[in-house]
Structure 1
């Protein structure tokens, strides 16, 4: 049976970048829904995969990246969505979760055909990741409530592009079923 995976994008973050202060309010708003998706995916036994920037720390492993993010100026934003011992972790260097990472190989080994994307930034990494997932023939689901943005207008446009150009389903976190693949699901993003 095809598997659904939750992909958490760039939530292990030090918030030491140029757009951090514009991003933080949206992250605070999305955090409860991301945590809710994490809990639901874990309860269903779905793979949870963190795909995260490495902050230019090429010799670091995921534990060191997590420690740096927790010790950062907004460590509280990381605490509620931190990986557990069963979470998988892929380090990326660019916007897309697929660009020069082993993610496609990992997903194939897990039998994953459907990706639920959450995290940050809607109009950047989430958008590019949705496109790359679509061209690799993965079904894509994004909850507008579980992604954070820098620019609200660009984020709305990005969500519309995901729907229209990438056949992504956009819905509330409660409408995402990690136990079964949806048949004929309808997008509810306006």
Structure 2
């Protein structure tokens, strides 16, 4: 990258070799299978929140990569307000994981957080080497994002307690697959050493 733009015009505070991605957790869950996600997603959200708090302590950037769920005339803040205030299944997720002012976000039109988004550019400015992927759904958006990250030579981490799918079997088989195919580290968040990953 050119030296004159090395800090995104002053908007990126510091570099970090690791970033935490929160994928599709601002989610109303108002789709046909949504009820099957409610309980496990809330548990994952609590684990992601703890991981996010640790990331903040280690100055690790947190990036929300979120669908806009067909609300193409809205922005991410409107999606957040919808999930918080429109009596939807996913309200608790937004209550737990509402982005902080210094978090980053990208809106994605498809499954992968890399496809047609600014994520690659943001990670390049941070000089990220390792990506921690969390969120919904393990066998869809997490899997596609992990594959795209691997093809871009990132080290991939998918904490097993910070992601969920329609059922436990889908989550387990996908995590096993990601371990084999993209060498993803699926260590639970409670055992991840973010200080070591930050080095």
Structure with greater Cα Rg: 2
Q: 3-state SS of the aligned residue for 2:139?
A: helix
The TM-score, its normalising length taken from structure 1, stands at 0.91
Task: Quote the Cα distance in structure 2 between the aligned partners of 1:50 and 1:182.
Answer: 19
Q: Is the 8 A contact 1:2 1:181 kept in 2?
A: no
Counterpart-to-counterpart distance in 2, 1:79 and 1:94: 24
- Kindly indicate whether residue 57 of structure 2 is the aligned counterpart of residue 63 of structure 1: no
Pairwise CA RMSD of aligned residues? 1.6
2:65 equivalent to 1:51: yes
Question: Where in structure 2 are there 5+ consecutive unaligned residues?
Answer: 1-14
**Contact 2:179–2:186 at 8 Å: present in 1 too?**
yes
Matches within 5 A, 1:108-147: 108-147=124-163
Counterpart Cα distance in 1 of 2:99 and 2:174:
27
Which of structure 1's runs of 4+ aligned residues deviate more than 6 A?
none
Aligned runs of 1:142-161 on 2, under 5 Å? Answer: 142-161=158-177
Which residue number in structure 2 is paired with residue 174 of structure 1?
Answer: 190
Confirm or deny: 8 A CA contact 2:19 2:130 kept in the other structure: yes
- Which moved further from structure 2: 82-91 or 14-23? 14-23
The structure in which a higher percent of residues are strand is 1
Match in the other structure for 1:14:
28
1:164 to 161, 180, 184: 180
The correspondence of residues 21-32 of structure 1 with structure 2, limited to 5 A, is 21-32=35-46
Q: Find the partner of 1:33 among 23, 42, 47.
A: 47
The answer to whether the Cα contact below 8 Å between 2:17 and 2:198 also exists between their aligned partners in 1 is no
1:107: how far off? 0.4
1:92 is aligned to 2:95: no
Q: How many residues align?
A: 183
- 2: distance between equivalents of 1:7 and 1:166? 17
Q: Secondary structure of 2:131's partner?
A: strand
